[in-house]
């Protein structure tokens, strides 16, 4: 019998951007722009990406290293308040094995001349196959990529 466990964790990643909330929000909603900053690292291959950005819609991304395991990110949208808040749940699978399930909230607050983004995740990390620290680091990296796209930097190749 396989040993079963679950680790519960909550983490918060904050960023401040020197642009208005609607410009920070829009890259979450547009499939072409989101694909530029969200997803798997190079040289991983994407085996399918779909973004249906609406309450009841979902984001689905599959990919992984060439010839290696396939990671699947499946995220239904629970609430969207334009330019203010996005709430979604997501499951992360490694091949056919579920490794984590999370509730994530992204908040966009206007600041003097910019936007304060607060990303909060509450996760259940299953059977030691995923870890909160890894997930926090990955989300922090994604928000750095978002900053790169917002500044108009070229895509990584």
The per-residue b/e assignment along 93-108, b for 16 or more CB within 10 angstroms, e otherwise, is: beeeebbbbbebbbbb
pLDDT per residue over 126-135, tens digit each? 998 889 999 9
pTM score over 0.85: yes
What would the pLDDT profile of 41-72 be if each residue is shown by its tens digit? 667 788 888 999 999 999 999 988 888 889 99
* C-alpha angle 52-56-122 in degrees, rounded to nearest 5: 95
Domains and CATH numbers, the chain: 6-150 (3.30.530.20)
Query: Where does the pLDDT of residue 19 fall: very low under 50, low under 70, confident under 90, or very high at 90 and above?
Result: very high
Q: Is 13 a residue whose pLDDT tops 70?
A: yes
Cβ partners under 8 Å of residue 151, min gap 6: none
């Amino acid at each position: 019998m396989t040993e079963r466990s679950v680790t519960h964790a909550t983490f918060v990643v904050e960023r401040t951007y020197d642009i208005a909330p609607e410009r920070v929000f829009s890259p979450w909603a547009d499939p072409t722009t989101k694909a530029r900053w969200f997803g798997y690292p190079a040289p991983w291959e994407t085996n399918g990406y779909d973004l249906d950005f609406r309450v009841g819609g979902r984001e689905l991304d599959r990919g992984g290293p060439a010839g290696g395991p396939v990671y699947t990110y499946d995220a239904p949208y629970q609430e969207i308040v334009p330019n203010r808040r996005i709430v979604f749940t997501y499951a992360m699978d490694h091949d056919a094995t579920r490794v984590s399930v999370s509730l994530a909230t992204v908040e966009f607050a206007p600041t003097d001349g910019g936007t304060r983004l607060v990303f909060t995740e509450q996760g259940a990390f299953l059977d030691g196959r995923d870890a909160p620290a890894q997930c926090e680091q990955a989300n922090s990296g994604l928000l750095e990529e978002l900053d790169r796209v917002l500044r108009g930097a070229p895509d990584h190749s």
